[in-house]
Amino acid sequence: MSYEDTGQFKAVVEQLDDPLNDPLPGRPPAVPEPEYPERPFAEPAPVFPDPDVPPVAEPDPAFPDPDVPPVAEMEQTARMPVVAEPDAPARSGGPEPVTPSAPPVPPAPPPAPSDGGRAARRKAARAGGGGHRAGGRGQSGPAHGSGAAQEASGAPLSRVEARRAAKAAKDSPAVVVSRIVGELFITTGVLMLLFVTYQLWWTNVRAHQQANGAANNLQHQWDSDSADPNRVPGTFSPGQGFAIMYIPTLDVKAPIAQGVSKHNVLDKGMIGHYDGALNTAMPWDKSGNFAVAAHRNTHGEPFRYINHLVPGDKVVVETASDYYTYQITSSLPSTSPANTEVIKPVPVGSGFTGPGRYLTLTTCTPEFTSENRLIVWGKLIEERPRSKGKPDALVGH
């Protein structure tokens, strides 16, 4: 058995001082560092050098870099000068010495940009527009593709570029058509609004002016003319006024003219007397049916609310010599325009059974249409000369 096999050599060697671990004479023994469990670390990925980038040369210890200070100087701790505060009070124990501050070190100039090699130039070319070919297109693209950009830069446009810019500035046919259609709709809407305003408002204004003027002329003529106004029907010319109708409950006062012409009578805000073939009676006739017509909507609309008349309401007709007061008896809400039986001397459907002195009011229905006719009947209850003053139905109106 050898000396090493018995283990004595190992025991003797372990008793020897280790020059790396044993402390030096005069120094305390080193404190062993705590052992931490080892953690697995990912191995760094292999780096493949770029063939276009030149390798960085390792510093040569024989030729140190003059701009880099030695390691010994870098390991020394820098001492900052102590600067006393100007307004700070003095401390107990005497003033501390002030060390003059060192002059500020100027900042190092930025490193000069380097070319970076072929790879850096290639990356810069990609970022700038994709190489020489793409870069050429990028430089010439705005000049050929956008006249507005070239005008903004102040460069003149060629003829082809000017044509393209003018064509791009023009609206497409669809846009032009939609714009025209929109303008037509707006114009049509404005015209319709103006027409409705004219029909519902302006025609009433004009008709009231004309009707009031005709009524005033009649009253002035009656007060100054001594001729007998009670002439037989047919002696008044068409459109000539001869009486004034009052409906106190509806606050209506309108002149009555000969005929039912829409243009010459009704559209002027007047009430028309049926004449001609129908030949209805006059108020002063001893028997017959005094039948009249007027607008229910627009053009003064004297008969707008005659559907509100009820039995017992009064209607007064003033002529040159007399007042004729009628009392409402019945009405017919709707009938055909061709039904002329309602204006006969004894109107059909009125409830009258024999001859008498009757009144018939006719107008269109429903409102704002001329599809049918609304009929209101009355009978004479008083005949009063104008010289005796107004009848009771007009007192207070």
- Residue 286 maps to which CATH number? 2.40.260.10
As annotated, the active-site residues are 295, 364, 373
Distance CA 120, CA 53 (A): 8
Asked whether residue 39 is domain-assigned, the answer is no
**CA distances (Å), origin 344, targets 201, 234, 309, 347, 360:** 35, 17, 21, 5, 9
User: Among residues 364, 161, 189, which one has the least CA distance to residue 266?
Assistant: 364
Q: How confident is the model at residue 140 (pLDDT cuts 50, 70, 90)?
A: very low
Specify the pLDDT at position 130.
47
For residue 391, how many other CB atoms are within 10 A of its CB?
A: 19
Dihedral angle of Cα 199, 201, 202, 203, to the nearest 10 degrees: 50
Structural domain containing residue 356? 207-225+238-394
Q: Whole-angstrom Cα distance, residue 150 to residue 135?
A: 17
Q: What is the pLDDT of residue 157?
A: 72
For the cut 90, the answer to whether the pLDDT of residue 19 exceeds it is no
Give Cα 63 distance to the centre of its chain: 81
Whether 326 is in a domain gets the answer: yes
Q: What mean pLDDT comes out for the span 356-374?
A: 94
The residue-averaged pLDDT of 273-285 equals 88
Lowest model confidence (mean pLDDT) among 49-63, 156-170, 287-301, 379-393: 49-63
**Assigned domain for 260 exists:** yes
Is residue 359 within 8 A of residue 282, CB to CB? The reply is: no
Is 73 domain-assigned?
Answer: no
Highest-scoring range by mean pLDDT, 65-69, 127-131, 213-217, 390-394: 390-394
pLDDT band at 137 (very low <50, low <70, confident <90, very high): very low
What's the pLDDT score for residue 237? 87
Please tell me the predicted confidence (pLDDT) of residue 164.
80
Alpha helices for the chain (secondary structure H):
8-14, 71-75, 117-128, 131-145, 147-153, 159-169, 173-197, 203-224
Distance CA 14, CA 8 (A): 10
Compute and round to an integer the Cα radius of gyration of the chain: 60
Q: Is the pLDDT of residue 47 over 60?
A: no
Give the residue carrying structure tokens 């100007």.
86
Q: Considering the domain boundaries, does residue 347 fall inside one?
A: yes
Q: Give the DSSP H or E segment for 255.
A: strand 252-258
Please tell me the pTM assigned to this model: 0.56
Lowest mean pLDDT among 68-72, 118-122, 269-273: 68-72
Q: What is the spatial distance between Cα 293 and Cα 374, in angstroms, rounded to a whole number?
A: 10
Look at residue 367 in the predicted model and tell me its pLDDT.
92
Residue 134: the pLDDT is 43
Q: Which of 126-135, 152-161, 202-211 has the lowest mean pLDDT?
A: 126-135
Q: What is the mean pLDDT of residues 207-228?
A: 80
Candidate from 39-53, 213-227, 249-263, 301-315 with smallest mean pLDDT: 39-53
Q: Is residue 307 part of a domain?
A: yes
| Structural domain total, the chain | 1
Let me know if residue 161 belongs to a domain: no
3-state secondary structure (DSSP) of residue 257: strand
In a domain, 309, yes or no: yes
Mean pLDDT check: name the lowest of 32-36, 81-85, 348-352, 375-379: 81-85
Q: Which of 90-94, 104-108, 242-246 has the highest mean pLDDT?
A: 242-246
Q: Is the peptide bond before 366 cis (omega within 30 degrees of 0)?
A: yes
Q: What is the mean pLDDT of residues 104-132?
A: 59
d(CA 379, CA 359) in angstroms, rounded, equals 6
Task: Enter the tokens of residue 193.
Answer: 């609004």
Q: Rounded to 5 degrees, what angle do the CA atoms 266, 269, 274 make?
A: 35
Q: Are 365 and 298 in contact (CB under 8 A)?
A: no
For the chain, give the mean pLDDT.
Answer: 76
